[in-house]
Amino acid sequence: MKKATIIGAAGFGGAGLIEILTRHPGFLIKQLIEKKDTGIPVSDIFPHLRDACNLTLDSPDNVDFDTDIVFFSTPDRVGMEIIDEYYKKGIPVIDFSGDFRFKNTQEYAVYANNKGIDDKHLAPHLLKESVYGLPEKNRKAIAEAKIVGNPGCFATAMILGMLPVMDEGIIESDTIICDGKTGVSGAGKNSGEANLYPQRHENINAYREGHHQHLVETENIINAKNKTSKKILFIPQVIPMTRGILVTIYADIKEGYDTKKIESLYNDYYKGEPFVTITGRSPGTADVRGSNRCIIKPAVDRRTGKLFVTAAIDNLMKGQSGNAVQAANIMMGFDETTALNMPGSYP
């Protein structure tokens, strides 16, 4: 049994990790760390965990380093102040924020400015030690990583939707258009007046059009193999639901590719991937609710010749905690699908 510590246990990310790790035969949750509400059973915060986890929340001051892996389910700029200590002790960490998704401080600064936070990275020396934690791209590097930056939820959907055509080098547009739709939970457990039920129901609106913080990592990863510099015009939109992301991707594609050929390319590319499904049927976020799966429908429009791809994930699973456990399975030598090979629930 590997011991796992969760820092930031009282957010949605913490809840997701506890749900998965308590059904994981290889992990034992050692400690739940939270700034607020210390001394309180986590099931007072999340009553659904009452019979699954009887731990209480511990203060950051009481952190126990006798652990095999640490999940930082914390806001931006928390991990970068602390993770060095774990790094020096050789304890692997997975960070949920943008702190360790980039290779240099310039990229971080663009990310931070898009998000409207302080843009000075506090642990630049750790950036080159960190790995972008998307198994479908970086499986081997993750296996040996000491610091993993867990991908952004929108980035995960965009990257998985585009990797096959980008790595194959058949995209001809300089700009790729990504139209994203997310449930409200992506904004976290205490996200302010705009996300109250009355304000979000019966409402959809775009935000941070063209400058969402997940642009940097997405452009990095999709351009990596062929050293291209294609840009994404990404318009995210919030829709009245809790979980789920659907991204619709539009691009020009080399001549000679129709839907059949593109489907075949995607199937080959993701062959053997345990959590990616290629389909010819329009995926709904309900099909991935509660699961770590990404369902992708790639197609070519007959009238205009354009490529369009829809990709659906659960933003709190493949877009957050599920992907983190998938990475942790790789890091700890477990079967990659352990505790994740479940279909979610419907309806």
Shortest Cβ 280–a second copy spacing (Å): 11
Report angle CA 137, 289, 331 to the nearest 5 degrees.
Answer: 35
Residue 14 interacting with a second copy (CB under 8 A)? no
Residue 233 interacting with a second copy (CB under 8 A)? yes
Length, in residues, of the chain:
347
How far apart are the C-alpha atoms of 208 and 183, rounded to whole Å?
16
**CB proximity list for 154: less than 8 A, separation 6 or greater:** 180, 182, 186, 212, 214, 218, 234, 236, 245, 247, 315, 319
Residue 220 interacting with a second copy (CB under 8 A)? no
Shortest Cβ 156–a second copy spacing (Å): 16
197 three-state secondary structure: helix
Residue 308 interacting with a second copy (CB under 8 A)? yes
Residue 164 interacting with a second copy (CB under 8 A)? no
Residue 200 interacting with a second copy (CB under 8 A)? yes
Instruction: Identify which range of 44-52, 69-77, 124-132, 145-153 contacts a second copy by CB under 8 A.
Output: 44-52
Fill in the amino acid letter for 51. D
Shortest Cβ 124–a second copy spacing (Å): 25
**Distance set, CA 121 to CA 84, 99, 280 (Å):** 13, 8, 43
Choice between 92 and 236, CB closer to a second copy: 236
Residue 201 interacting with a second copy (CB under 8 A)? yes
Residue 306 interacting with a second copy (CB under 8 A)? yes
Shortest Cβ 273–a second copy spacing (Å): 11
Is residue 244 within 8 Å of 314, Cβ to Cβ? yes
Per-residue x/- track, 265-294, a second copy (CB under 8 A) = ------------x-x-xxxxxxxxxxx-x-
Question: Which positions from 96 through 155 interact with a second copy, judged by CB under 8 A?
Answer: none
Q: Which of 9, 82, 184, 331 is in the footprint of a second copy by CB under 8 A?
A: 184
Residue 242 interacting with a second copy (CB under 8 A)? yes
Q: Which of 109, 241, 261, 273 is in the footprint of a second copy by CB under 8 A?
A: 241
Q: Which of 28, 141, 235, 332 is in the footprint of a second copy by CB under 8 A?
A: 235
Fill in the amino acid letter for 43. S
Phi, psi of 5 (to 5 degrees): -115, 135
- How many Cβ atoms from other residues are within 10 Å of residue 91's Cβ? 18
Residue 36 interacting with a second copy (CB under 8 A)? no
Q: Residues 281-305, buried b or exposed e (16+ Cβ, 10 A)?
A: eebebebbbbbbbbbbbbbbeeeee
What residues are annotated to the active site? 153
